[in-house]
Chains A and B, each alone.
Chain A
Amino acid sequence: SYELTQPPSVSVSPGQTARITCSGDALPKQYAYWYQQKPGQAPVLVIYKDSERPSGIPERFSGSSSGTTVTLTISGVQAEDEADYYCQSADSSVVFGGGTKLTVL
């Protein structure tokens, strides 16, 4: 079955840039989506179709794609960005990555 692979954790200091990767064989053919989830809350879509930002999402969130890897970049990380981040895509079925815990030091 199709899998998306993310690093379990990423740590950055406030004001620095965080990069979270997501790898999958179908990513060159299929769009990726990114969600932010804080404890006890439902996920929030922060990037759609690899690099588009929904309205209301801060400009410091951006996405990019290269081959079998997509990357969520958070520039100028703030304490409020500490959360779990999940990538999502679809091949024959819908799949989420395992999630990455972003820690703001």
Chain B
Amino acid sequence: EVQLVESGGGLVQPGGSLRLSCAASGFTFSSYWMHWVRQAPGKGLVWVSRINSDGSSTSYADSVKGRFTISRDNAKNTLYLQMNSLRAEDTAVYYCARADYDILTGYSRWGQGTLVTVSS
């Protein structure tokens, strides 16, 4: 069974850091581009970042560029999101997702999400 399981969320003060993980199982992780998507409380989905299958290419939304870093360890079947200089507006549920129908879009597999709260 294909599974994506996020972890690492929690409460952090403004300016702090957090690293999210997404453990993948049930498929050949190294074959897929992976994405992070977030959703602030009561708001819509927002794309955050993507990484190609071997980790050599990344891209970020303007709102997180320079503060967040996406990476992956294909040997451990794990996707990461290092979040630095966190702001209140980064408060959201963060989902990892697998791109199935295109490298950028069409996510047929999502994790359950992990909540990040940035507050003093």
Given the known A-B contacts A42-B113, A86-B45, A99-B44, are A94 and B50 also in contact in the complex, defined by CB atoms under 8 Å? yes
B47 touches A45 (CB 8 A): no
B11-53 toward A: CB 8 Å interface, digit per residue (1/0)?
0000000000000000000000001010000001111001000
Q: Are A43 and B45 in contact (CB under 8 A)?
A: yes
**Residues of chain B with a CB closer than 8 A to A98's CB:** 44
- Given A93-B59, A94-B35, A94-B50, residue A45 in contact with residue B44 (CB < 8 A): no
Number of interface residues of A (CB under 8 A): 24
Number of A-B contacts (CB under 8 A): 62
Chain A interface helix/strand/loop/mixed:
strand
Q: Which of B47, B107, B112 has the most CB of A within 10 A?
A: B107
A43 to B111, CA, bound (A): 9
- Tell me the bound Cα distance from A95 to B47 in angstroms: 6
Tell which of B71-79, B82-90, B98-106 binds the partner: B98-106
Closest Cβ neighbor of A98 among chain B residues? B44
Q: Which residues of chain A are near B1, meaning CB under 8 Å? A: none
A residues at B contact (CB < 8 Å): 1, 31, 33, 35, 37, 42-45, 48-49, 54, 84, 86, 88-90, 93-99
Q: Which 5 A-B pairs have the closest CB atoms?
A: A42-B110, A94-B47, A99-B44, A90-B104, A96-B45
